[in-house]
Structure 1
Amino acid sequence: MSENQTEETIEISLDQASPELLKVIEFEEVPQEMLQMLLSVHEVAEAAVRESWDDMPASAQKVLDNFEQFHALVSLSQSYAGVDFMSEFENVQLPDDLSDEEKEERRSVMLDQVLHNCVKDITKQLKVARRKPGLKREFNEIFKK
């Protein structure tokens, strides 16, 4: 059996999603076709997102109620950025002398940077929201009933 035949597709259901992620999905009206990617990103990125949350000033953390809200916002941002990156990467002309492995490595590094930038962007927005009540309200509105 080849490697591809032995790989299993792991489906993550909305039943497993945190209440905060469900609020983001509902508020942002995330399309059905994005849900699996969003849930997967949310699942795998938690440790890196937690590290960014822990490094953030307490005053910025207080813009939101908890880490899970931050994690949900970052996951949404990363999902959309990842989809955009993957579609754009198809048109990127890499040097012909790169092996398939080198091309894959380059794509992986570039995608990691895109995803890292999403975390930085949300962190920056929270820091700004400390001083801008309107922006703080926008963040909080997502998680209200």
Structure 2
Amino acid sequence: MSEQHESAPETVNLEDLSEELQQVIKYEQVPVEMHGMLVSVHEVSEASVREAWDELPASAQNVLDNFEQFHALVSLSQSYAGVDFLSQYQDAKIEDLDDKQAEDYKAQLLDQVLFNCVKDLCKQLKKARLKPPMKKEFRDIFAK
């Protein structure tokens, strides 16, 4: 007899997360099913996100209170983009490539999608410096 195990979504205790990530989850009403993925993305992306943050002009950084807010927003964006990407390309067959090449190609595409999330948020912060309503939108997410 073989047992089948359905993989239940990992339960995430929001209280174990950074305050900024909690605020993003609550404000954006992130579905519980995505919490595990969001936390994973948040954990693995810190170094590259920090690099992007450090390259932003101080005036763009000042739209938010700190790096942790930026990191939480990037993690959310990357999680949704990752889900969209995987749902579109999971079973896609790429002609003229063997399985390994196809997986490598999909990994490259996913990396580019995730990189574009960081790049897009950086652009939004730069725009928000000059647009008070946009700046307010960012700040509202983290209002206590």
> How high is the TM-score relative to the length of structure 2?
0.89
Q: Which amino acid aligns with 1:122?
A: L
**1:98 Cα deviation (Å)?**
1.6
* SS of aligned partner of 1:112: helix
Does structure 2 retain, via aligned residues, the 8 Å contact 1:12–1:40? no
Give, in whole Å, the separation in 1 of the partners of 2:92 and 2:99: 14
Q: Within 5 Å, which residues of 2 pair with 1:47-58? A: 47-58=47-58
Give, in whole Å, the separation in 2 of the partners of 1:114 and 1:81: 7
Aligned to 2:7: none
- Runs (4+) of structure 1 exceeding 4 A deviation are 10-13
**1:92 Cα deviation (Å)?**
3.4
The alignment's C-alpha RMSD in Å is 1.5
**1:93 Cα deviation (Å)?**
3.7
Give, in whole Å, the separation in 2 of the partners of 1:54 and 1:60: 11
**1:12 Cα deviation (Å)?**
6.0
Q: Within 5 Å, which residues of 2 pair with 1:15-26? A: 15-26=15-26
Give, in whole Å, the separation in 1 of the partners of 2:113 and 2:25: 21
**1:90 Cα deviation (Å)?**
3.0
**1:130 Cα deviation (Å)?**
0.1
Does structure 1 retain, via aligned residues, the 8 Å contact 2:24–2:72? yes
Residue 51 and residue 11 in structure 1: after superposition, are their counterparts in 2 closer, same or farther (change >3 A)? farther
Identity %: 61
**1:78 Cα deviation (Å)?**
0.2
Q: Which amino acid aligns with 1:78?
A: Q
Q: Deviations over 1:20-54 (max 9, x none)?
A: 00000000000000000000000000000000000
Give, in whole Å, the separation in 2 of the partners of 1:100 and 1:13: 37
* SS of aligned partner of 1:144: coil
Give, in whole Å, the separation in 1 of the partners of 2:80 and 2:133: 24
Q: Which runs of 5+ in 1 are unaligned?
A: 1-9
Does structure 1 retain, via aligned residues, the 8 Å contact 2:93–2:102? no
Q: Deviations over 1:99-138 (max 9, x none)?
A: 2111110011000000000001100000000000000000
Does structure 2 retain, via aligned residues, the 8 Å contact 1:49–1:119? yes
Q: Which amino acid aligns with 1:89?
A: Y
Q: How many residues align?
A: 135
Moved more, 49-58 or 12-21: 12-21
Q: Which runs of 5+ in 2 are unaligned?
A: 1-9
Give, in whole Å, the separation in 1 of the partners of 2:11 and 2:113: 24
Aligned to 1:122: 121
Give, in whole Å, the separation in 1 of the partners of 2:42 and 2:74: 8
**1:15 Cα deviation (Å)?**
3.7
Aligned to 1:102: 101
